[in-house]
Amino acid sequence: MKYLNHTLAMLVLVIIISACGNKEKKKEEVIKPVRYEVVAKMNAQKVRSYSGVASASNKIELSFRTSGIVSVLKAKIGQRVKKGDLLMRLDNVQAQLTYEQSISALKSAQSAMNTAKSSLERSKALYEKGSHSLSEYETAKNNFQNALDKFESAKRKKDIDQSQINYGYIYAPKSGVLAAVDISLNETVGSGQVVAILNAGDDVNVLVGLPENVINNVALGMTTEVEFSSVTGRTFTGSVIEVSPIVDSNTSTFPVKIDINKPIESIKPGMVANVTFTYGSDSDSGSNQLVVPVKAVGEDGNGNFVMCIQTSDNKIGIVKKQNITLGELTNNGFIVLKGLEEGQLIATAGLQTLLNNQKVKLQ
């Protein structure tokens, strides 16, 4: 009897284990959903942004054409001036003294010329009456010519000395705003030294340096987008007005000047700007290239890759890791140079959680 009970107990235990095993087998397989896109060709446009600095469209550097001590200083930073306003003057005493001496010399030369002219006229009259010889008449003519030459020379020197005095004054060449004043009263300045900067005109330009790999894609008249961190919520349209053919030795970039269309008063010279250029690919602008979204591209030790999806019903698929070669970044994503074909499916999210040969559900 005990043997029969033991046998029945064992039979029941086997049935229970078998039932549990069947339940485990009947457990549904979990398939991860994944978002995807179809690889396609499209016109590739490159988008590049570079930092620049705003400046006045007409920036004038002011300097004296002679050296001296600043005796009058009416210029102040931020001051709005009109054309012809006196900004500063040098205490050029030596130039004033030289000018006064040249006036005295001019008067003496003029007096000597007048005397020589009278002598010539008198000698001519006497020569015509036969009272003077020809040699005396020629001597009178030579004396007058020498006096005339000295007078003309003295007059030119007087004009030059007058200019030297004028070189000690700086007047506003145009109406505008003083952006910088780099001297102070009683300071000694040299000839040609920049002492102030005048921003004339209402237009605003942005100066930006471009590297050599993109400079050939920029042309005069190209439209750009300009943003200023200090002017929030506004994007301005700009036009390229200058493209330098020579690299700047200080920055190793090519200077490009952009004119801002319809600038506002809150844009001040010196503000940092972000300039966005949009242009076609290096190849024919009408050609199409394979482009994949940035979020679909991963990177590992072997380079860049995408997770391709192989499917027969567009519902369930198998993930395959595919290495690719990327080109330029465009407005729509990366250009694919090698590794993909048009029409392939690629995952666009959760690349780090997907495994090679994993089964997924397409969404």
**Domain boundaries in the chain?**
32-44+286-362, 49-57+201-280, 93-166
Query: What is the percent of the chain with per-residue pLDDT over 90, rounded to a whole number?
Result: 15
Give the pLDDT band (50/70/90) at residue 306: very high
Spell out the CATH class of 32-44+286-362.
mainly beta
pLDDT tops 60 at residue 282: no
pLDDT tops 70 at residue 308: yes
pLDDT higher at 331 or 239:
239
**Antiparallel, parallel or unpaired: β 86-90 and 68-73:** antiparallel
Instruction: Kindly state the DSSP code that residue 251 receives in the 8-state scheme.
Output: T
Give the pLDDT band (50/70/90) at residue 18: low
What six digits make up the tokens of 292?
């994949």
* Cβ-based burial of 198 (10 A; exposed 0-12, middle 13-18, buried ≥19): buried
pLDDT score at 331: 66
H/E element, 3: helix 2-25
Q: What average pLDDT does the segment 255-274 reach?
A: 87
* Cβ-based burial of 88 (10 A; exposed 0-12, middle 13-18, buried ≥19): buried
Between the CA of residue 347 and those of 29, 30, 31, 74, 247, what are the distances in Å?
21, 18, 15, 69, 43
Give the pLDDT band (50/70/90) at residue 285: very low
Query: What is the percent of the chain with per-residue pLDDT over 70, rounded to a whole number?
Result: 88
Task: List CB contacts of 180: < 8 A, sequence separation 6 or more.
Answer: 77, 196, 197
What whole-number distance in Å separates Cα of residue 343 and Cα of residue 347? 13
pLDDT score at 55: 84
**Antiparallel, parallel or unpaired: β 188-189 and 86-90:** unpaired
The structure tokens 């029941």 sit at 12
pLDDT tops 70 at residue 286: no
* Cβ-based burial of 30 (10 A; exposed 0-12, middle 13-18, buried ≥19): exposed
pLDDT score at 243: 92
pLDDT score at 20: 55
pLDDT tops 50 at residue 283: no
pLDDT score at 324: 92
What whole-number distance in Å separates Cα of residue 56 and Cα of residue 265? 12
32-44+286-362 and 49-57+201-280: identical CATH topology: no
What whole-number distance in Å separates Cα of residue 77 and Cα of residue 176? 12
Assign 232 to helix, strand or coil: strand
pLDDT score at 11: 62
pLDDT tops 90 at residue 160: no
pLDDT higher at 188 or 4:
188
Q: What is the pTM of this model?
A: 0.47
Length of the chain: 363
pLDDT tens by residue, 338-360: 999 888 999 988 777 888 889 98
Rounded to an integer, what is the distance from CA 335 to the centroid of its chain?
Answer: 28
pLDDT score at 258: 92
Position 335, amino acid: I
pLDDT tops 90 at residue 208: yes
Q: Residue 259's CB: how many other CB atoms inside 10 A?
A: 18
Q: What average pLDDT does the segment 243-249 reach?
A: 90
pLDDT tops 60 at residue 91: yes
Q: What average pLDDT does the segment 231-259 reach?
A: 89
pLDDT score at 39: 86
pLDDT score at 87: 92
Buried b (16+ CB within 10 A) or exposed e, 156-195: ebbeebeebbebbebebeeebbbbbbebeeeeebeeeeeb
Give the pLDDT band (50/70/90) at residue 284: very low
Give the pLDDT band (50/70/90) at residue 122: confident
CATH (residue range 93-166): 1.10.287
pLDDT tens by residue, 30-83: 788 888 888 887 755 567 888 999 888 788 889 988 888 898 999 898 888 888
pLDDT tens by residue, 27-41: 566 788 888 888 887
Q: Which of 146-155, 255-264, 273-282, 287-296 has the lowest mean pLDDT?
A: 273-282
What whole-number distance in Å separates Cα of residue 288 and Cα of residue 268? 42
Phi, psi (5° rounding) for residue 128?
Answer: -65, -25
Q: Which of 10-14, 20-24, 272-276, 277-281 has the lowest mean pLDDT?
A: 20-24
pLDDT tops 80 at residue 101: yes
What kind of architecture, by CATH, is found in domain 49-57+201-280?
Beta Barrel (2.40)
